[in-house]
Amino acid sequence: MKTRSKILFASTIGSAMTLGVAAAIANDAADTPSITPKTMADALHMVMDSDRAVYTRRIVNRLAAKEKVITASEHFEDEKALVLPAQMFRFGAEMVTERAAENPDVNFSYSLQSLWPINSQNAPKTDAEKEGLQFVVDNKGENYYTTEELGGQNYFTAIYADTAVSPVCASCHNDHVDSPRTDFKIGDVMGGVVIRIPIES
């Protein structure tokens, strides 16, 4: 019995030490830079793009286009409708901006911009944004990566094409009174997702 207690005690100490070492290693790993800004931007975009695709397919396509039990509309509050996929994306970007401002460790931003924005606030402002948005239009299937300095801070900036995935995307922009371009068709690059990550050098 005494021997069994000793074994149990030793085993418990051993387990605790193992857990302690594992926790220390995990803390070290968590604080050690091991991915590039490009990998981080690509990973963020993959999450954003997948979430948006799921919303478009499982919610909008299924309920609005297929089952026809509700509509999706830019004026979703007045019309008691689903928000458009692009609006959901923008709402997420706005929330991230608010939350990231309170947490400098995850201080990144993203936005949906266009060379032909319905809302002029979504037009590119920096040279990198203008060049990158034109690049993804001219080089379909490719992303744009660069660095820029804004307000004394260096950033890694990545731009990913935003494409019209259904006829409604194109017709909504083409028919909108504030749209500067009216010849979009499905499959066209209509704008881009701009992800900006602060960097040290």
Q: Kindly list the residues in this chain that would bind another protein in the complex (CB under 8 A).
A: 33, 35-40, 42, 53, 56-58, 61-62, 65-66, 107, 135, 139-147, 154, 156, 163, 165-167, 170, 185-188, 197-201
Q: How many residues does the chain have?
A: 201
**Residue closer to another protein (CB basis): 22 or 54:** 54
Q: Closest approach of Cβ 33 to another protein, in Å? A: 6
**Three-class SS string for 77-117?**
CCCCCECCHHHHHHHHHHHHHHHHHCCHHHCCEEEEECCCC
> Taking the CB of residue 70, how many other CB atoms lie within 10 A of it?
15
Q: At what angle do helices 37-54 and 85-101 cross, to 10 degrees?
A: 140
**Residue closer to another protein (CB basis): 14 or 167:** 167
> Taking the CB of residue 174, how many other CB atoms lie within 10 A of it?
14
Q: Closest approach of Cβ 56 to another protein, in Å? A: 8
Q: Closest approach of Cβ 16 to another protein, in Å? A: 34
**Residue closer to another protein (CB basis): 51 or 188:** 188
Q: Closest approach of Cβ 11 to another protein, in Å? A: 42
